[in-house]
Amino acid sequence: MREDVDPEEESLFGMLKTPLVSLCALSLIVGGWFLPPTTLQAQEVAPLILDERPGMTIRERPREERQRRSDDEEPKKTDESERKEPVATPSPSDVIVAVVNTHRLTRESLNARVAERFEKYKKELEEGKSRTLQQVRDVFGNDSQAARIEIAQEMEDNLEAAMRAEEGAAVRDWVDHLLLADEARRQGILINQNEYRQRLQEITEESNLQEDRVTAVLADLRISQRDFQQTLYDAMLIERLVDQFIRLNWSEEDLREAFNSNRNSFYYPPRHHIAHFSIALDGSETNDQIRRLEELARRVRTELRRDADPEALFAKDEFSRVDMGIWGTTGFFTFQEGNLPRPIEAEAQKLSAGQTSDVLINRYRDARDRIRPRSIHVIKVLSTEPARGDTFESALPIIRERLVDVARDQLLQRIRTSGTHRIITNLGGIPPEILPSQDDLQRAFAQQPPPLNLRLGE
């Protein structure tokens, strides 16, 4: 790893650290070698063979065209002497599904990287299949064999389509990651070893990851320590490249103009982390029942004021009776969102962090003009977060977070259309006649094309 490093530029964007590298590295450790996984969708990824340099696009014939040509051809008769021996299925480690410049992705590596995420989806689908089949049996009895077979086949088809969609998303992430990292190298961006070690330490501490845990996960994913280190290093290169792209194309005046023209989109009101105990009433309760429920709420109030752990308190049987409308929870609330009844919200807003309300009763007037309780509440404010985005300075992290995503997409589009990076992908395996050898790739890119002009509009 090179010790050289470009000096850090002092700029508006130096005020902040983007979450890009942390997200990349953490997802590498706990979920694969890619960015956070895309939601599984039941869509087919076409088996394209694609070299994105101008004039080098190749693809398989559509299925209908292949079938039409097959129907038109006369079946050829072959004698015993013309029959060929069956071709052995190649090992997944020998099948290349994607190439980016000098980098190759094997089928074995792709399988390892999607397996953990896909197994969870597969388990959920199997559980749903079992429930659906049981419902069919309950409704149609033993005469539902055909329906069960149809349902089972449909779910198998959905599973296969979802697997292909997951693989396609993983390949796209792999390709994007290496395109950006390679372009960063062409731009002359460097990370020194001290910066790398510091970032790795920050990630492990933030994620509370032990070395043995990282080693075990990498082993499951068939990723070597060296590959992991290279990927993290590349992620840091990408962060620098995106920052450079932003500095060249968006000035501080541009960001101020964006803020001033649409302030509401950057404003986040104060948030409060609260423990909320609630009892919902349906109007049928007697006065004695209401008094007992109010006493239950007072016990919760007393325990919370004694700094009892809300989660443990609410888990007790007497305070966790959803069947009776009794429940407790903790979470972040923005009071203006109307998550609580207005009278209760008004009282809760008066509390500071660490304070617990008295027993709060939300009342209404019934058809006989009587004042009746609708619900009973106890609230403790555990912590608060101040408003964000009310000034340009406080909105800057939000603006930057959104700008990073926009800049990354525009940068990728610029790289893909430049014709200076080789990309070939095919989930079924790149045919040998199309696949260049590793030596060919190294020779072709021994003299790399010049770096891209990162200024938009030029």
Per the CB < 8 A criterion, the answer to whether 175 and 98 are in contact is yes
Nearest 10 degrees: CA dihedral of 199, 202, 203, 204? 120
Topology classification of domain 271-385:
Chitinase A; domain 3 (3.10.50)
Q: What pLDDT does 337 receive?
A: 67
Regarding pTM above 0.75, the answer is no
- β-pair partners for 169: none
Place of tokens 């419902």: 135
87 secondary structure, DSSP code: P
Domain parsing of the chain, residue ranges: 12-59+106-251+400-444, 271-385
Q: What pLDDT does 257 receive?
A: 92
What are the residue ranges in the chain where pLDDT is below 70?
1-88, 116-117, 120-121, 124-125, 129, 133, 136-148, 151-152, 207-214, 217-218, 220-222, 337, 444-448
At residue 37, what is the residue type? P
The 10s digit of each residue's pLDDT in 214-234 is 677 667 666 777 778 888 899
Alpha carbons 215 and 50: distance in angstroms, whole number: 35
Alpha carbons 182 and 83: distance in angstroms, whole number: 47
Alpha carbons 203 and 205: distance in angstroms, whole number: 5
241 secondary structure, DSSP code: H
Count other C-beta atoms under 10 Å from residue 178's C-beta. 22
